[in-house]
Chains A and B, each alone.
Chain A
Amino acid sequence: AQSVSQHNHHVILSEAASLELGCNYSYGGTVNLFWYVQYPGQHLQLLLKYFSGDPLVKGIKGFEAEFIKSKFSFNLRKPSVQWSDTAEYFCAIRGSQGNLIFGKGTKLSVKP
């Protein structure tokens, strides 16, 4: 069965620090991978997605993620975080029915 694991439950950073959130998935076939963000009081929004091609994917708000097939990973990165990046981040893989299978999420708190 497909699954997604996110290593960090809660990450606390100061503004301008670099960010990397880990995501690993289990599935041996072709994968569609996503990162979603949920700002406080708002609904889920897509940050970026990987279907095929260039394994380095650029998303909105300066986020990027790298698909490393050999490591079954899809880590999210941002060179310099802002206070407004405080949110919960979810990694997900597309399931066989078209649904998304989510990791447990990582809460990011950015201190001004």
Chain B
Amino acid sequence: SAVISQKPSRDICQRGTSLTIQCQVDSQVTMMFWYRQQPGQSLTLIATANQGSEATYESGFVIDKFPISRPNLTFSTLTVSNMSPEDSSIYLCSVEATWTSGMEQFFGPGTRLTVL
């Protein structure tokens, strides 16, 4: 399996500031994804981050608000910019890996963000 770590695990931030979330994987993976899980809601894809290309954002998410970096095959960052209380969520990094048993997507532990 792929082991994913995220930093920070949680943070409390002030409105108008920015937070960068780091995602580290223990193996090289091509596809990485960033999801958001708002309180009481399911997971929603923010963007797909493939190494060597620009991130692809889902409808409702824009690069100015959620810039993503993917400098290599084991690391990515997501920045939540100019935060407001509506950005309070759990942000999750995930990767896709293919085994002999087929494709599987692994998830990090998440970053719990509270914006005051």
Contacts and interface: CB of A to CB of B under 8 A. Distances in A.
Question: Dominant SS at the B interface?
Answer: strand
Contacts of B77: none
Interface stretch (A18-26, A67-75, A94-102): A94-102
A99 B42 contact: no
Interface of A: 32, 34, 36, 42-44, 46, 49, 51, 90, 94-95, 97-105
8 contacts: A32-B103, A49-B104, A97-B56, A98-B48, A100-B33, A103-B42, A104-B42, A105-B42
Chain B interface size range: 20 to 34
A78 B17 CA distance: 46
Interface of B: 31, 33, 41-45, 48, 56, 92, 94, 96, 102-110
Contact of B108 (A43, A49, A102): A43
A86 B29 CA distance: 32
Given A98-B31, A99-B33, A90 B104 contact: no
A101 B106 CA distance: 14
Nearest to A45: B107
Contact of B107 (A44, A94, A98, A101): A44
B58 to A, nearest CB: 8
B109 A43 contact: yes
Contacts of A46: 104-106
Contacts of B106: 46
B104 A102 contact: no
